Amino acid sequence: MSQEVLKYLQDNQQRLQDKLFEFLAIPSVSTDSAHKQDIHKAADFITTYLHDIGFENIEKQETGGHPLVYAEYNGAGSEAPTVLFYGHYDVQPADPLELWDSDPFKPEIRNERIFARGSSDDKGQVFMHLAVFEAYMKTEGKLPLNVKVCIEGEEEIGSENLYKILHEKKEQFQADFAVISDSGMVEKNQPTILYGLKGFTGIEITVNGPDHDLHSGMYGGAVRNPLMALSHILSSMKNEEEVVTVEGFYDGVEPLSDEERDLIDQVKGEDYVQATGVPETVSEKGYSAKEHTMARPTFEVNGMYGGYQGEGTKTIIPSSATAKITCRLVPGQDPERVQQLLEEHVKNVAPAGVKVEVKKEKLSAKAYKVDPDHALIKKAAASYTKAFGKETVYVRMGGSIPVVEWMEAIYQMPIVLLGFGTPDDRLHSPNESFPLDSFHKGMETLAYYWNEVNDK
């Protein structure tokens, strides 16, 4: 690689940042149908950019849901490897808006960070890839390897249509390996290779009681309160020692070896208390917070509601109550089976006097682990180190990227997780941000990596 690529990135810093801000300003919230136009706007931004860089066969693929952007670069010749680059242009909702210090869709820089919804997850990281491709094309006139681009708009809502497309268009998306930048480093400027991710599944429980909200004086004592019933159901699913008490939940989970416990212990990781503001950490009985987060399955209530939520008092018995639950899974757990166990448990403990419905999260994913000694992983680690000037660490993490599991299952190809986020990025929360350092050194890492990969 000529130094021209790096110089180009440096010379064009301000212009690239402006262009990134333009991308981040599009509120491409996938879960909310009110943002349908914004979703298209974000997809169009990418297709236009790919066109300007010089990609070919650019398609805004209709998926039945939000469009998927596909493109190819075949100029490296048949001898060069082909990478499938995956990312997503959709973002989480920004609410509660009042907790943001600046507009989530008016990016701004404070304390050397870019504040905006999607700055870290994942529009910022997608943009870095496109900018590096641009730098290669504008300086060397070509990319060091062939590229297939797959940038979807439904990651935050389960990637349902991507799942179908990866199966249906297997040939189109087939590559020698995949690269995904939708994850993070254990701390700022600490090169990090993720070698394990958790799987994922979920259910939504709705308890239906009376057919309308009731006056608590007239009917209190005669009917089951749906919120109380739901509290009893949830309490029966995880105990106060943070152990999931759904029968069979832990079946097949690999015991955590002393070696792996040591490895986890060695990762500095973040100070959970400081990062989250909780009075103290709490984790599964017998495991540290770090062990539980990285290597043990979890069960979380993501949201719950029923009855009166306004100012003051409203003396009613609500007609219904709902809880949204997701679990993060580890190797050995089958998501569909876990979902089945959760549903059976809920049905078994559902009390008299109410009707309980369980809606299964449509898409689930198994956990993922890759061999940290694979050549493509080693080259990624070396590129990281060159750009950041620091040894790379290897970790497992609590997050789930379903597409990783699917790509592995469908294409049997190695997947390299090159993430540049940091623990302070507040993904999915108000005030999401991404360090400028990650933005610039991350692009440098990618520039090195594409060069390394084709260096036999």
- Give Rg (Cα) of the chain: 23
Helix/strand/coil for 35? helix
Query: Please, which residue, 324 or 386, has the CB nearer to a second copy?
Result: 324
Instruction: List, in order, residues 6 or more apart from 438 with CB less than 8 Å away.
Output: 185, 188, 189, 420, 421, 422
Task: Answer whether 204's CB lies under 8 Å from 322's CB.
Answer: yes
Q: Where does this chain touch a second copy (CB under 8 A) — which range of 68-76, 132-140, 320-328, 380-388?
A: 320-328
C-alpha 119/C-alpha 42 separation (Å) is 14
- With contacts defined by CB under 8 A, how many residues of the chain interact with a second copy? 101
419 touching a second copy, by CB under 8 A: no
Enter the tokens of residue 277. 């503001």
314 touching a second copy, by CB under 8 A: yes
Angle between helices 13-24 and 36-53 (to 10 degrees): 150
454 touching a second copy, by CB under 8 A: no
296 touching a second copy, by CB under 8 A: yes
User: How large is the greatest C-alpha to C-alpha distance in the chain, in angstroms?
Assistant: 80
Q: What angle do CA 82, 193, 124 make, to 5 degrees?
A: 70
244 touching a second copy, by CB under 8 A: no
Q: Where does this chain touch a second copy (CB under 8 A) — which range of 52-60, 91-99, 110-118, 448-456?
A: 91-99
Residue from the set 60, 224, 360, 378 that interacts with a second copy by CB under 8 A: 224
Contacts (CB under 8 A) with a second copy, residues 370-409: 397-400
456 touching a second copy, by CB under 8 A: no
37 touching a second copy, by CB under 8 A: no
230 touching a second copy, by CB under 8 A: yes
C-alpha 456/C-alpha 443 separation (Å) is 22
Residue from the set 79, 262, 311, 455 that interacts with a second copy by CB under 8 A: 311
Pairing of strands 368-369, 56-61: unpaired
Q: Where does this chain touch a second copy (CB under 8 A) — which range of 2-10, 19-27, 109-117, 423-431?
A: 423-431
Task: Answer whether 50's CB lies under 8 Å from 56's CB.
Answer: no
Question: Considering only CA atoms, which of 112, 109, 2, 18 is closest in space to residue 441?
Answer: 112
- In the stretch 110-149, what mask flags binding to a second copy with x, by CB under 8 A? ----------------------------------------
210 touching a second copy, by CB under 8 A: yes
In the complex, least distance from residue 291 CB atom to a second copy, rounded to whole angstroms: 8
326 touching a second copy, by CB under 8 A: yes
* CB-based burial label for 309 (10 Å; 0-12, 13-18, 19+): exposed
Task: Answer whether 193's CB lies under 8 Å from 372's CB.
Answer: yes
234 touching a second copy, by CB under 8 A: yes
Pairing of strands 355-360, 108-110: unpaired
Query: Please, which residue, 71 or 325, has the CB nearer to a second copy?
Result: 325
In the complex, least distance from residue 392 CB atom to a second copy, rounded to whole angstroms: 20
Pairing of strands 68-73, 56-61: antiparallel
Residue from the set 72, 213, 260, 334 that interacts with a second copy by CB under 8 A: 213
253 touching a second copy, by CB under 8 A: no
64 touching a second copy, by CB under 8 A: no
In the complex, least distance from residue 132 CB atom to a second copy, rounded to whole angstroms: 26
